[in-house]
Amino acid sequence: MGWLRDTFLEPGNDSTEVERIRYARTYILEMIKGYLMSDLSRNPVHLRWLLKLV
């Protein structure tokens, strides 16, 4: 998820609406990573939640 943070930086005051939407989506993915996929056993059962994003 470091790639997400590096690619979609925090928007500035002069950012466009598209940039703010992309940042919001990135932030949501970071939250999902922290809450749903915090299990370090690499259990793929948590991947079922990713289908909810589609």
List the pLDDT tens digit at each of the 54 positions of the chain.
Answer: 577 677 767 777 888 888 888 888 888 888 777 666 665 666 555 666 666 665
Q: Where along the chain do its domains lie?
A: 2-53
Contacts 24+ apart (CB under 8 A), 16-20: none
Q: Which amino acid is at 48?
A: R
Q: Which amino acid is at 6?
A: D
Cα-based angle 25, 27, 48 (whole degrees, multiple of 5): 70
Are the CB atoms for 26 and 8 separated by under 8 Å?
Answer: yes
pTM assigned to the model: 0.53
